[in-house]
Amino acid sequence: MENENTSIKPIATNYGLYYALFSIAVIVILYVTNMQKNLVIGTINVLGTVAVFVLAIIAYKKTNNNYLTLGQALKVGLGTAAIGGILIALYTYLHYTYIQPEFIEAMRQVQIVELQKQAENMSSEDADLAMKMLDFFSSAGFISTVSIIGSLIFGLIVSLIAGLVLKSE
């Protein structure tokens, strides 16, 4: 039987904090080891994130008398993703604004080189517009916003799959 009084908020908050701490640790490890991208750390990040969402849904199911609907799983996962995503976005903004601003600048320089290669076929107005878009897309604020959206999409997908597997019949 469904327990209508079981709140999703404490579980989403706790696991959202775990998710944020885990993801922030990955960012810090990549920074400290001076690696921009690493397949092993990236794989660990994805698997760890999936584990946090699944564990949150399992924890909710246990507190709800071993009863879980797909809707509840989605709520737990999206709540976890929202809380964790906001915290990750805040840290990401601070990290790429104050701790490692050179990362965004290096990324921007690579994009400028690519844009210059294509500029031969562009009008000056198109090139100016492309530079303005490049400035916008290579800002810490944009990266932070995308991290929230990515967190919610990833949380939705993992929660949907976990909910389908773990739901009560």
Burial code of 116-154, b = ≥16 C-beta within 10 A, e = fewer?
eeeeeeeeeeebeebeeeeeeebbbeebbeebbeebbeb
Question: In this structure, which amino acid lies at residue 63?
Answer: T
Collapsing DSSP to helix, strand or coil, 114 comes out as helix
Grade residue 38 by pLDDT with cuts at 50, 70 and 90. confident
Given this model, what pLDDT does residue 74 score?
A: 97
76 burial (CB, 10 Å; 0-12 / 13-18 / 19+) is: buried
Grade residue 12 by pLDDT with cuts at 50, 70 and 90. very high
Residue 117, pLDDT above cutoff 90: no
Grade residue 152 by pLDDT with cuts at 50, 70 and 90. very high
Higher local confidence (pLDDT), 121 or 6: 6
